[in-house]
């Protein structure tokens, strides 16, 4: 009897292992919905490294770039043209959810995809070149009050985007009409950094994680980070928050992944289980920390509920700024 049970256990384990191997994506791909170098790229490469290091994928996941509409092109492509691709995950951020709340992804809403996993969070930030005359957030606000048309601000996306919203909240708090600010619309954090360092814009409304390589190289400074308190990472500890400079603005930037709407339950479960294992591991935490991201772990139904709630909250904020009816 004992031998029979042992054989059954071994057989069950073999079937389970076989099922897991069968479910592993044959051509794993992560779509970064922007140009290389920004937050979506960072998010995909984090998963790329972690999945191979943890031996959850036998071969590396490729990262492809699909810029356009700060996520809109990728979202529409996956939903309408590639809905069943079980091996393809797509990076998203809080900015994606903000755009969804305003209908910027066209006819598809926040219920059109299968939300998979959130793997970390960063925070919004206001960046300038290291030689900028603006030394504090107050310096920038004073310049905007004097003549907002003379300060060129680069932001990912158009009016209503996450980066636009960050500076709009500052403007509102300072008594400046956000519509008077002078914006240059760019495609993600990589393009913002390039434009800022090239002198094409004077201020970048961006993300702290995107900015750290340029801060550490000495080419860029952060006037304010939109976190609750100063961040504890050694390289970030000296960066002041907007709150401590008199502007009570907090803007977390959650980063994660979704799958197409017709991906099979088997494929979805494989990915969910893989990310559940990653998010519980110390090795993943180290990789996340190396990319200047902070803990934020959520998968499956819990993430779906979070997304629906956040989109509703962003929709209310968009109405407040007159972006939607």
Residue 13 in domain: no
Residue 39 in domain: yes
Return the number of other C-beta atoms located less than 10 Å from residue 136's C-beta. Answer: 12
pLDDT score for 6: 53
Residue 260 in domain: yes
pLDDT at 2 over 70: no
Looking at 233, 251, 269, the residue that finishes a domain is 251
- Same domain? For 153 and 220 the reply is yes
pLDDT score for 1: 45
The average pLDDT across 259-285 equals 98
Residue 208 in domain: yes
- Same domain? For 94 and 175 the reply is no
Which residues have a Cβ under 8 Å from the Cβ of 69 and sit 6 or more positions away? Answer: 99, 104, 105, 157
What the block records as the tokens of 296 is 């934020």
Spatial separation of the C-alpha atoms in residues 159 and 168, rounded to whole Å = 9
Q: Are 62 and 80 in contact (CB under 8 A)?
A: no
pLDDT score for 13: 45
- Same domain? For 131 and 246 the reply is yes
pLDDT score for 19: 40
- Same domain? For 257 and 247 the reply is no
> The domain that contains 82 carries what CATH number?
3.40.190.150
- Same domain? For 169 and 246 the reply is yes
Helices 265-279, 2-23: crossing angle, 10 deg rounding: 100
- Same domain? For 73 and 147 the reply is no
Query: What are the tens digits of pLDDT across the range 296-323?
Result: 999 999 999 999 999 999 999 999 999 9
Sign, Cα dihedral of 104, 108, 109, 114: negative
Residue 65 in domain: yes
- Same domain? For 228 and 133 the reply is yes
Query: What are the tens digits of pLDDT across the range 157-197?
Result: 888 989 999 999 999 999 999 999 999 998 778 889 999 99
CA end-to-end span of the chain, whole Å?
70
> The domain that contains 182 carries what CATH number?
3.40.190.10
- Same domain? For 234 and 267 the reply is no
Sign, Cα dihedral of 318, 163, 96, 279: negative
Spatial separation of the C-alpha atoms in residues 292 and 295, rounded to whole Å = 10
Domain membership of residue 96 as a residue range: 28-122+253-320
- Same domain? For 260 and 117 the reply is yes
Residue 325 in domain: no
CB burial readout 202-226, b (16+ within 10 A) else e: bbbbbbbbbbbebbeeeebbbbbbb
Looking at 217, 251, 285, the residue that finishes a domain is 251
Looking at 251, 268, 289, the residue that finishes a domain is 251
- Same domain? For 284 and 310 the reply is yes
Q: Are 90 and 30 in contact (CB under 8 A)?
A: yes
Which residues have a Cβ under 8 Å from the Cβ of 53 and sit 6 or more positions away? Answer: 283, 287
For 296, which DSSP code? -
**CA angle (212, 102, 186) in 5-degree steps:** 40
Which residues have a Cβ under 8 Å from the Cβ of 57 and sit 6 or more positions away? Answer: 24, 25, 28, 51, 274
pLDDT at 221 over 90: yes
The average pLDDT across 94-103 equals 94
For 202, which DSSP code? S
What the block records as the tokens of 22 is 């069968």
- Same domain? For 188 and 97 the reply is no
What domain count does the chain have? 2
pLDDT at 4 over 70: no
Distances in whole angstroms, Cα of residue 273 to Cα of each of 133, 181, 254, 279? 50, 45, 20, 10
Instruction: Give the pLDDT band of residue 17 (cuts 50, 70, 90).
Output: very low
Residue 272 in domain: yes
Q: How many whole angstroms from its chain centre is CA 292?
A: 12
């Amino acid at each position: 009897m004992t031998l029979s049970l042992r054989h059954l256990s071994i057989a069950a384990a073999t079937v389970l292992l076989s099922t897991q191997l069968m479910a592993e994506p044959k051509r794993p791909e992560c779509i970064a919905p922007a140009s290389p170098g920004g937050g979506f790229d960072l998010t995909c490469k984090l998963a790329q490294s972690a999945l191979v290091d943890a031996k959850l994928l036998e071969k590396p996941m490729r990262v492809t770039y699909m810029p356009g509409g700060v996520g809109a092109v990728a979202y529409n492509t996956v939903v309408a043209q590639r809905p069943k691709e079980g091996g393809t995950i797509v990076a998203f951020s809080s900015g994606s959810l903000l755009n969804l709340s305003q209908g910027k992804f066209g006819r598809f809403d926040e219920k059109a995809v299968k939300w998979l996993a959130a793997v970390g969070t960063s925070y919004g930030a206001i960046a300038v070149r290291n030689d900028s005359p603006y030394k504090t957030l107050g310096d920038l606000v004073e310049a905007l009050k004097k003549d907002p048309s003379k300060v060129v601000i680069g932001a990912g996306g158009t009016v209503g985007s996450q980066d636009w919203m960050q500076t709009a909240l500052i403007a509102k708090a300072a008594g400046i009409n956000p519509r008077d600010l002078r914006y240059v619309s760019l495609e993600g954090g990589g393009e913002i950094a390039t434009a800022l360092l090239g002198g094409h814009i004077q201020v970048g409304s961006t993300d702290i994680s995107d900015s750290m390589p340029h801060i550490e190289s000495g080419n860029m400074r952060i006037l304010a980070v939109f976190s609750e308190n100063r961040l504890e990472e050694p390289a970030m500890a000296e960066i002041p928050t907007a709150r401590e400079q008199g502007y009570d603005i907090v803007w977390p930037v959650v980063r994660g992944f979704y799958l197409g709407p017709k991906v099979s339950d088997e494929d979805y479960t494989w990915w969910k289980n893989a990310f559940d294992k990653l998010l519980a591991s110390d090795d993943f935490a180290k990789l996340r920390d190396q990319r200047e991201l902070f803990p934020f772990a959520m998968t499956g139904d819990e993430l779906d509920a979070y997304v629906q709630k956040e989109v509703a909250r962003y929709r209310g904020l968009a109405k407040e700024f007159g972006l939607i009816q």
